[in-house]
Amino acid sequence: MTDDGENLYGIHSVAAALAAGTELAEVRIAKGFHGKRLARLEADARAAGVRVKRVPREDLDRRSGGARHQGILARVAAVALWDERRLLDHLDGLTETPLLLLLDGVTDPRNLGACLRSADAAGVHAVVVPRDRCAPLNAAARKVASGAAESVPVAAVPNLARAMDALKERGLFLLGTSDHGDVPWYRADATGPTGWVLGAEGEGMRALTARKCDALVAIPMAGSVSSLNVSVATGVVLFETVRQRHGG
């Protein structure tokens, strides 16, 4: 899992990066694109000491790979991924009940970005992914995340199963979602220290990852599809946790 600091594009994504204090090497704005939001972003970038250039639209089309860039693109430094030691130190320092999200085999950057966005909205303290079996935290992921890639810590660990053991030693109860789950997701008690474990749709999590979970729960499907997109399932289980913890 790598992020080489490629281009970040789109008004919301660039605004979120500036608001989060993300280091930007340069902002490019397409000639012919105007509006209050772009003007405010340009002013904010200059105020932050970021070089701003006006360029032909074709330059942004090329750099964004033809994606909808909304007339603005920024070159950003790579997101600093945590290692396992920093993750555990972070947990040891929490003063509130931990909530983690563990993702196994999520290889689509857009799904990763959507999971990060849900994690941020639900107050997740960190997202844990395997270093070698995860989508890159690149521009596509960061655009979908809409700023969550800068606000939610992401820990890339060399061995997810071993990291799960370390989390359980610190009192986290690991709940995995699976077609073979014993109970519906809403009956699982997530009021204590909890880590939700999800795999990519289709294949799901690896067998070893599933065995490391303390319990497996199901999200029953009432229609013709066999499973939810992983980012949708992430939102379902995280906000059930929010409901339980806040008495909704």
Domains of the chain listed by start with CATH number? 7-76 (3.30.1330.30), 84-246 (3.40.1280.10)
- Per-chain mean pLDDT for the chain: 90
**The predicted structure's pLDDT at residue 221:** 76
Handedness of CA 44, 46, 51, 53 (dihedral sign): positive
C-alpha to C-alpha distance for 91 and 33, rounded to whole angstroms: 45
- Residue 2: pLDDT band by 50, 70, 90 thresholds? very low
Q: Please give the pLDDT value at position 65.
A: 83
**Residue, of 35 and 124, whose pLDDT is higher:** 124
CA distance 108 to 105: 9
**Is the pLDDT reported for residue 210 higher than 50?**
yes
Q: What is the pLDDT of residue 3?
A: 45
pLDDT > 80? residue 22: no
Helices (H) and strands (E) in the chain, counts: 10, 11
Report the C-alpha gap between 197 and 120 in whole angstroms.
Answer: 16
Mean pLDDT computed over 198-222:
89
Provide the whole-model pTM: 0.79
Give the per-residue pLDDT at 21. 76
First to last CA, the chain: 37
pLDDT at site 12: 87
Q: Is residue 118 within a helix (H) or strand (E), and if so which, with residue range?
A: helix 109-122
How many Å apart are CA 158 and CA 17, to the nearest integer? 28
Q: What is the pLDDT at residue 24?
A: 86
pLDDT at 4: 43
What is the rounded average pLDDT of the residues 207-223? 91
pLDDT score, position 128: 98
Alpha carbons 8 and 40: distance in angstroms, whole number: 17
Banded pLDDT at 84 (limits 50, 70, 90): very high
State pLDDT tens for residues 118-176: 999 999 999 999 998 899 888 788 878 888 888 899 999 999 999 999 999 999 999 99
Structure confidence by residue, pLDDT tens digits, 60-76:
999 888 888 999 999 87
**In contact, 183 and 211? CB cutoff 8 Å:** no
The β-bridge partners of 24 are 76
The pLDDT assigned to 57 comes to 94
200, 232 Cβ separation under 8 angstroms: no
